[in-house]
Structure formats: structure tokens, C-alpha cells
Amino acid sequence: MGCPKVTVIIPVYKVEKYLRGAVQSVIDQTYKNINIILVDDGSPDNCPQICDELGEKHDNITVIHKVNGGLSSARNAGLDSINNTDYVLFLDSDDKLPKEAIEGLVKEAETNHADIVIPDRYVKVFEESGREEIAYHFPKEMYRENAQDFVLDVVMEQGRAWRASAVLYSYKTINTANARFPLGRIAEDVSFNFIIMTAASTIAIYPYSTLRVLKHSGSITATFQKNFEKDIWYIDEQAREFLKRNNRYDEKGIEKADALLCRNIVVYLIDIMSHKNSMNYRDKKKKAKSLLSAPEARNVVRSKHNIPYFEKKKVRMLFRVVYWMLQHNMDAVVFKLLSLV
């Protein structure tokens, strides 16, 4: 048997400044049995022309032009166009892969007969300063080989390993699960991973970075996500459906799902009141109160859960303080505190 084929799907929208660099990082991989699918999602800049130029220059690049439908729609179009491959990897068009990334991921997958290979870290690259920072998805001791255990103990209880970018997925497992990204969601990666991990058996961890994430003013993570409240409840629904599909909707499973819901509510509450949100204090407070007004939200933040993993100690401490205050009905103090952070 020869080297397994890897298909890299790159959605493209308004990234003419970064697109060539992202594609070149795939072309420069030490692993060579790679196909690249560029999905032009109706980009209004020069991206469509750049995609065509790259497609003409490289035999292993396929270009799809489509009407704008968002990130999930573009990724799904890439998946639907695959004829034959062994593995799939998604890459955002303003990010890059280290040269050995795919070779390392495939080796882990083949050695461990894994359906999914997840890197335990990635590198943040800050465009303005050029500063680089290693960020860990989760500590090694959290790793679980069984896919369902991984979801309960890492994704749900700790709120980690949500990212789909630069993760190696078995194409067979994607098809078995009929996994696709949901349209119109901010947290599309979470839903995709919940679906595919139902069909997966084994997860392997690659102990190196497979992704260089560019942080710039146009990044999704650089702005306050005003509509994330809807996704909080969507993620909760997906988590509980995952438990039911896998016969894990017992007391332990429900506790894990509650822990994830609690984490997302507290984190979003912090985000609402943060400087990233340009709303005035009065509107922030109104939005925060709305978030906490749902009975499910009040019940879950009053319950006792383990403090989830955060790489930065300051964030973990802030979460701990806010969570404690919410448990003791000190909402007004929480709002004032967060407005000063």
C-alpha cells in the first residue's frame, strides 16, 4: 500500500492578502500525496482570480467557485466534491501549516489506527507585532483514546478541543457519520466534531503544532461575537444529542453536558462585559441579564462543577471568581467587576 492520500480543504473569502501564503504552506509540506481544494465562497476581491492562477499552476489543486454561503457552506462544498481520499484536513485561508504537519499527522493516524488525529497545541502569530505564542488545546493528561470518552472528559467537561482546522480526519469516518458543518452557526466546528466522534473509535494526539493561526483585525476571534448566545443553546442541544446517540445520557453524562453549558455561559458573560464589546455599559448589562434570565442558565451556574481548563492562569482565576459569585447570586457585583477587567 502506498502513502495515504490527504485532501486539504481551504475555504476562501476576502483573504487576498493571505491566500497565497496559506496554499504555499500546503505545497511545501514534506508529505507529498496531497490534493488541495480551494473553495471560493463568492469572494468579492481578487481571491477568485488567485484561486484560478494557483489551480493552473499546480496539478494537485482543484478550484470551486460558488455563491457566498459562509464558512460551513464552503467546507461542505469541498467535502461534497471529493472523489477519492483517505484523510481530510481543513485549513483556514489566512493560516498556515508547519512543513512537517501533515507527515506527522498521517504517521500518528497510521501507527495508531486512529480515525481522528488532534494536535495538542497551535501557534498564534500576531500580525501587527510579529509576536508568536504557543497555545495548548489541552494538557496531555486529559487525553482519552476512546472517542466518546474524549468528548465527555475533554470537550464537555473541560470545554477543549473544539477546533476542526488542522485536525486530520479519516474520510471513511466522515462518510460513515455523514458529517457536515451546520449552516449559520459561529461554533460550526463543535457540531461537526460531535457528529463525527459518534462514528469514530480511536483518537490519537499529535504532540506538536500543526497550525500557525494569524491573529489580525479581520479574524473572527478578534471581535465580540454578539450572536453567540444562540450558539450556546445549540451547542448544549448537540451535546445532549451526542450523549443520547451513544447511550451515555446517564447521570455522569448529564453532569458533563451541564459543565459545558456552565462554561459557555460564564465565558460568554465575561465576553459580553469585556472591552472587545463596544456596547455601552447599560446595554452590556441588559444583554448579560438576558443571558442569565433563562431558567436553564440560572440552574446550571448555581450547580457545582469542576473548573474547566484554561491555559492562562488569569483567565482561570477570573472564571473561578465569576462562577463563585454567580453561585451566590451576586450578579450586580459580577457586572461591575467585569466592566473593570
- Kindly report, residue by residue over 207-234, the tens digit of the pLDDT: 888 888 887 665 544 455 677 888 999 9
Specify the pTM. 0.91
Q: What is the DSSP string of 137-205?
A: SS-GGG--SBHHHHIIIIIISS------BT-EEEHHHHHHHT--PPTT-S-HHHHHHHHHHHH--BEEE
Retrieve residue 46's grid coordinates: 481578487
Q: What is the rounded average pLDDT of the residues 255-284?
A: 91
Nearest 10 degrees: CA dihedral of 199, 176, 120, 40? -150
Domain boundaries, the chain: 6-221, 224-340
**166's torsion region: left (phi>0), alpha (psi -120 to 50) or beta?**
left
Average pLDDT, the chain: 91
pLDDT digits (tens, 9 = 90+) for 93-117: 989 999 999 999 999 999 999 999 9
The whole-angstrom separation of Cα 144 and Cα 111 is 17
pLDDT digits (tens, 9 = 90+) for 111-154: 999 999 999 888 888 877 878 888 887 777 778 889 899 999 88
CATH superfamily of 6-221: Spore Coat Polysaccharide Biosynthesis Protein SpsA; Chain A (3.90.550.10)
